Amino acid sequence: MDLAYTQEEEAFRNEVRTFLRDKLPADLSSKVLEGKHMTREGMMRWHRILHERGWIAPAWPKEHGGCGWSIVQRHIFEDERAEAGAPPVAPFGLVMCGPVIMKYGTEKQKSYFLPRILSGEHVWCQGYSEPGSGSDLASLKMRAVREGESYRVNGQKTWTSMARWADWIFCLVRTDPAAKKQEGISFLLIDMKTPGIRVRPIVTMDGGAEVNETFFDDVMVPAENRVGHENKGWTYAKYLLGNERTSIARVGGLKRELKQLKDMAALEGVDKNRRFRDKVAHLEIELMAHELTNLRMIAGLRDGRGPGTEASILKIRGTEIHQRMTELAFEALGPLAVPFQREALEEGWNEEVIGPDYAPPVAPRYFNTRKVSIYGGSNEIQKNILSKAMLGL
Whether 123-231 and 248-391 share one fold: the answer is no
Residues known to be catalytic: 244
Q: What is the DSSP letter of 216?
A: E
| Tens digit of pLDDT at every position of the chain (393 positions) | 455 789 999 999 999 999 999 999 999 999 998 888 888 899 999 999 999 999 999 989 999 999 989 888 988 999 999 999 999 899 999 999 999 999 999 999 999 999 999 999 999 999 999 998 877 888 999 999 999 999 999 999 999 999 999 999 999 999 999 998 889 999 999 999 999 999 999 988 777 788 999 999 999 999 999 999 999 999 998 888 766 655 667 888 899 999 999 999 999 999 999 999 999 999 999 999 998 888 777 666 656 565 567 778 888 999 999 999 999 999 999 988 876 777 777 776 766 666 677 888 888 888 888 888 887 778 888 888 888 877 766
Can you give 55-81 as a three-state secondary structure string?
Answer: CCCCCCCHHHCCCCCCHHHHHHHHHHH
* Among 251, 248, 268, 250, CA closest to 329: 268
* Among 199, 304, 185, 181, CA closest to 234: 185
- 295, containing H or E segment: helix 274-302
Instruction: Say whether 294 sits in a helix, a strand or coil.
Output: helix
* pTM (2 d.p.): 0.87
Residue 243: predicted pLDDT: 61
Task: Show me where the domains of the chain are located.
Answer: 7-89, 123-231, 248-391
CB within 8 A of 284, min separation 6: which ones?
258
Residue 43: predicted pLDDT: 93
Residue 187: predicted pLDDT: 97
CB within 8 A of 166, min separation 6: which ones?
92, 123, 124, 125, 192
- In terms of CATH architecture, what is 123-231? Beta Barrel (2.40)
Cα 276 from Cα 348, distance rounded (Å): 34
| Cβ neighbour number for residue 177 with a 10 Å cutoff | 9
Give the homologous superfamily in CATH for domain 248-391: Butyryl-CoA Dehydrogenase, subunit A, domain 3 (1.20.140.10)
